[in-house]
Amino acid sequence: MGTTGEDFDVVVVGSGAGGLTAALAAGVAGLKAVVVEKTELFGGTSALSGGNVWAPNAPEFQRVGQKEDPEHVLDYLVKIAGDDVSTERLRRYVDEVPKMMELLESRHEAFEKRFIWAEDYSDYHPDQGGNPRGRGLWPPVVDKRRLGDDAQYLRGGKVRLPGAPKATWMTGIDLHDLIALRWGGLRGWKPVVRLAGRTVVTWVKRSDMATGGQALVARLYLALKQIGVPVWRNTPMQALVTDEGGRVIGVHVVRDGRPMRLTVRGGVILATGGFDHNAEMRHRYHPLIDHTWSAGSPDNTGDGIVAGEQVGAALELMDDAWWMPVMHLPNAFPLQVLERSYPGQFIVNSAGRRFVNEAAPYTDFVHVQLENHAAGVSHIPVFMITDDRAWKRNVIAFRLPGRKMPSDWLDSGLVSKADTLEELAAKIGVPPATLAETAERYNRFARAGRDDDFSRGESAYDNYYGDDSYPNPNLAPVDKPPFIAFRLLPGDLGTKGGLLTDSDARVLRMDGSVIHGLYATGNTSASIMGHDYAGPGATLGPAMTFGYVAANHIAAALRSAD
Ligand SMILES: Cc1cc2nc3c(=O)[nH]c(=O)nc-3n(C[C@H](O)[C@H](O)[C@H](O)COP(=O)(O)OP(=O)(O)OC[C@H]3O[C@@H](n4cnc5c(N)ncnc54)[C@H](O)[C@@H]3O)c2cc1C
């Protein structure tokens, strides 16, 4: 079978939010572009995600009166990431993210509804200049039927509470409101009524709603369709093509089983996600981690990173990831964003001791977990210790409060239950006397509403998913048997190390020189967040923004060459 070919201005590799935004910017700039996607499904991890986009000064923030001094935003980024990332790249992000969001909004047919401010979903470090009111935007929901036949190829699915009717759908805001309800009737049942009403309407109209990251990807895909930029599914990139001077001039792909060489006049934009599920790379860079704990898209195997490395690219931040504690349940690893903020739980290592502010931002939590593990005390897994009161009051692992615990949780030995803390300690293999001592100290702090060891509950971020019926929304005693222990593992939302890029998203060599014709964004590139995470949406925001930057850089270069 011979190789066929086709010429483009831009080839975008990968159909997550980074790739689709790059292709949109290229198409709007009048370039001949194509997106090649390895799998049958488009959307990558982006379509599995919450879809929150960290976008300070986006048009929506201007409309809701949350305009900020860009220097203030930059100062925050420099503080949290400046040791590892150039100020130039950070400044570029601050300057370009509002323009990228403007581009989306300008595609009226696909983005006919406004993005929604995740109000009070605080930046992750309000103590370092982060905004406690939040800089994240949720994408507006969309009926997938608008995608026509292509809807079946959109990756991802609905967030559903067990037992909820099929037609029920939830946004990030609904989830927050439902959790805050606490089933104690304290806040009224408004969110439940809202969900019930919506379920009926959805059922009557036979709608098929996409929310979160699926909605973001669906809308980007619609925008591409409207300007005629194709997305070729089942088309994995195999390798980059370079000329004798080292410039990237195309890609080898296999399209529906047939080898093809795509030649580019402008450049190739790599947006293939991270190496989340490349077992060999994970073992090399993250020896303590099992890739099955990652919530990243199963087909993200570092292809863009490997291809870039083969043409001489420098790699950075390979030891890091968008870490996320996950609960170890039979056949499931639910993310632990909410539960760690609830009062009425504390988390211990194998020595039975607390080691961190449980409610800390997820990536920080795992950083401490891994550092402590390396120091000699096992922190894989760690144990969330909770009690009957908290179980009956909170949504835990997507189960409504107080519902019977699934028998396989206990039968598998992954979740343990006991009438005393000492008994529980014996079941999970931590020293009983130490666990009792830890509980006693924690309960003292909880009753006083102040955590003298780890300052839990003192940040607006901690409080967001807390329970404000307590004086400290993140602290309540753990003293009502039976006690329960959940195992938590260091999972992730995807990896964050990859190809080193400059402020134009161009890929660099070790000596700092540019590999002409090659661009990278999203988790294929070394993150502009360095080892940190600015706030909700701080992975999608940069992925989309530097996709946009790359496409515009190519457009400008082609214009000046013509
Ligand atoms: C449950 C969950 C919730 C999250 N919530 C948020 C959130 O609310 N906000 C936020 O900012 N981040 C969130 N994240 C993280 C975020 O989703 C990712 O960091 C982001 O989607 C990465 O985008 P990307 O464009 O780099 O890659 P992806 O979206 O993963 O896209 C990469 C695409 O490239 C394709 N590909 C791979 N190899 C090849 C190849 N050889 N040829 C062609 N195509 C290839 C893949 O199949 C995939 O479709 C969440 C993640 C998870 C798992």
Q: Give the Cα separation of 43 and 522 in Å (integer).
A: 13
Coil vs helix vs strand at 218: helix
> How much distance in Å is there from the Cα of 393 to the middle of ligand 1?
33
Q: Give the Cα separation of 430 and 310 in Å (integer).
A: 47
* Residue 238 phi, psi (nearest 5): -100, -40
Q: Give the Cα separation of 348 and 435 in Å (integer).
A: 8
Q: Give the Cα separation of 232 and 512 in Å (integer).
A: 33
- Cβ atoms of 445 and 470 within 8 Å: the answer is no
Atom number, ligand 1, closest to the C-alpha of residue 47: 29
Tokens describing residue 247? 């410039």
- Cβ atoms of 338 and 395 within 8 Å: the answer is yes
Ligand 1: residues within 6 Å at CB?
13-19, 36-39, 44-46, 48-52, 213, 236-237, 271-273, 295-297, 299-300, 303, 322, 335, 493-494, 522-523, 537-540, 543
Tokens describing residue 217? 């990807």
Closest CA to 43 of 215, 193, 175: 215
> How much distance in Å is there from the Cα of 374 to the middle of ligand 1?
29
Residue 222 pLDDT: 98
> How much distance in Å is there from the Cα of 19 to the middle of ligand 1?
9
Residue 172 pLDDT: 84
Atom number, ligand 1, closest to the C-alpha of residue 538: 11
Residue 62 CB partners (closer than 8 Å, separation 6+):
none
Query: Which 8-state DSSP code applies to residue 515?
Result: E
Q: Give the Cα separation of 501 and 486 in Å (integer).
A: 40
The residues pairing with 537 across neighbouring beta strands, listed in sequence order, are none
Residue 260 pLDDT: 97
Could you count the other beta carbons within 10 Å of the beta carbon of residue 120?
A: 12
Residue located nearest, by CA, to atom 26 of ligand 1: 522
Residue 561 CB partners (closer than 8 Å, separation 6+):
none
Residue 159 pLDDT: 67
Closest CA to 288 of 226, 345, 351, 369: 369
Ligand 1 pocket test: which of 34, 238, 272 has the largest number of ligand atoms within 8 Å of its C-beta? 272
Pairing of strands 33-36, 4-13: parallel
Residue 184 pLDDT: 57
Q: Give the Cα separation of 15 and 498 in Å (integer).
A: 18
Ligand 1 pocket test: which of 11, 42, 46 has the largest number of ligand atoms within 8 Å of its C-beta? 46
* Residue 401 phi, psi (nearest 5): -55, 135
Ligand 1 pocket test: which of 160, 528, 540, 545 has the largest number of ligand atoms within 8 Å of its C-beta? 540
Residue 187 pLDDT: 55
Query: Which 8-state DSSP code applies to residue 120?
Result: T
Q: What does each of the 562 residues of the chain score in pLDDT, given as a tens digit?
A: 567 889 999 999 999 999 999 999 999 999 999 999 999 999 999 999 999 999 999 999 999 999 999 999 999 999 999 999 999 999 999 999 999 999 999 999 999 999 999 999 999 999 999 999 999 999 999 999 999 999 999 999 766 677 777 778 888 888 888 887 775 555 557 777 888 888 888 888 888 999 999 999 999 999 999 999 999 999 999 999 999 999 999 999 999 889 999 999 999 999 999 999 999 999 999 999 999 999 999 999 999 999 999 999 999 999 999 999 999 999 999 999 999 999 999 999 999 999 999 999 999 999 999 999 999 999 999 999 999 999 999 989 988 887 889 999 999 999 999 999 999 999 999 999 999 999 999 999 999 999 999 999 999 999 999 998 899 999 999 999 999 999 999 999 999 999 999 999 999 999 999 999 999 999 999 999 999 999 999 999 999 999 999 999 999 999 998 7
Residue 3 pLDDT: 76
Residue 1 pLDDT: 52
Distances (CA, A) of 476 to 344, 359, 437, 449: 5, 13, 16, 8
Distances (CA, A) of 373 to 30, 289, 376, 381, 477: 52, 12, 6, 10, 27
Closest CA to 552 of 7, 63, 10: 10
Q: Give the Cα separation of 39 and 36 in Å (integer).
A: 9
| pTM to 2 decimal places | 0.96
Place of tokens 């099955």: 292
- Cβ atoms of 26 and 555 within 8 Å: the answer is yes
Q: Give the Cα separation of 348 and 340 in Å (integer).
A: 12
Q: Give the Cα separation of 507 and 501 in Å (integer).
A: 4
Tokens describing residue 89? 């790249």
Side chain identity at residue 174, one-letter code: D
The end-to-end CA distance of the chain, in Å, is 36
